[in-house]
Amino acid sequence: MTLNEERLNAFLGKAVGDLGAAFSAVLVVLGDELGLYKALAKESLTPAALAERTGTSERYVREWLGNQAAGGYVDFDAASGTYRLNDEQAACLADPAGPVDLAGAYEIALALFHTYPRVRDNFRSGEGMEWGDHHPCLFHGVERFFRGGYHMHLLGEWLPALDGVVDKLSRGGRVADIGCGHGASTVLMAKAFPASHFTGYDYHGPSIEVARERAAAAGVTNVSFEQAEAAGYAGRDFDLIAFFDCLHDMGDPTGAARHARTALKDDGTCMIVEPFAGDRTADNLNPVGRVYYAASSMICVPVSLARQGPALGAQAGEARLREVVVDAAGFRRFRRAAASPFNIVLEARP
């Protein structure tokens, strides 16, 4: 076999970059947990000064900084021997309200390593894995990663893109947040629209408990959380029912969409926020698609298969979701209302 040296070197260049990212994943989580990023966001520091500020060992911190600077996660000033986060790095690594909580995403990566034995067995057997069977860092990582997108887009772009919804919520409406997890989206909307009432539903009991804690900490009183299946909650007459990044991994997405249709008012709106995806595999062969296909292999597809679901996956695409929401569940109006680099926002009306 004769190898094309140019193609070989190009592939190895990509692979070495991926290997460095994989090896560094734990170090990103470490930098977040130990406060290293937050300290570097405030001022330029030598390894010794950073260790002193954070109560850590200078020798370990020195290696961590070398790794982070080599990966472009931290800036290094060779003249002064100091390190610092620039504004853009700080927004993604040291600001929970920034555009992307990157450290939260790495918590998800950490959770995936915990699942490896189950993932290996599932690939052989075709069986699934319940959401609640994952390591708890998955639940916190998902909350953090998606919360950044909600802070950036939900109030200023996504809700205004829905026909008449902001006016209804400003006057006082009823909202259901299905698959609410830790309640990041629910609490954000409740704070923005105090005249409306928001109910978060999730079948994972521990997540509901955390959501209640988050609401109490935020001081919002127009919100409640209930443990319930997406196709079995008791609430009715909602002005808005929202699915945030969850419909695709449900065991019965059609049943959930059909239930939402019956739980809506006649003039209500269903907002379906899903991972950004095209309708063809070729459309999704890009960095964002790569992230979502990985998560889908180890989280989304197994969660659906655990309940004998269709396993739509995180890259289902708008056409496949239309089949679920319109053809199977009976919604009559369906359109893409908005999009961001990580999400598409679909509006469905009875």
Query: Which neighbouring-strand residues pair with 223?
Result: 198
User: Which single residue is written with the structure tokens 């698959």?
Assistant: 179
Mean pLDDT taken over the chain? 96
Residue 239 confidence (pLDDT) above 90: yes
pLDDT digit string (tens) for 164-184?
999 999 999 999 999 999 999
Q: How many residues does the chain have?
A: 350
Instruction: State how far the Cα of 160 lies from the Cα of 163, in Å rounded to an integer.
Output: 7
pLDDT digits (tens, 9 = 90+) for 139-151: 999 999 999 899 9
- Per-residue pLDDT, averaged over 90-112, amounts to 92
Continuous H helices in the chain: 5-33, 36-42, 47-54, 58-70, 87-93, 102-114, 116-125, 136-149, 165-171, 184-192, 205-218, 253-263, 287-295, 301-305, 318-322
The values of phi and psi at residue 212, to 5°, are -65, -40
Between CA 314 and CA 291 the distance in angstroms is 10
Domains and CATH numbers, the chain: 5-95 (1.10.10.10), 150-349 (3.40.50.150)
pLDDT value at position 11? Answer: 95
Please write the tens of the pLDDT for every residue from 35-52: 999 999 999 999 999 999
204 contacts 169 by C-beta, under 8 angstroms: no
pLDDT confidence of residue 268: 98
174-178 vs 264-275, strand pairing mode: unpaired
Query: Is 83 in contact with 120 (CB distance < 8 Å)?
Result: no
CA neighbor of 303 nearest in space, from 129, 134, 117, 114: 129
pTM of the model: 0.92
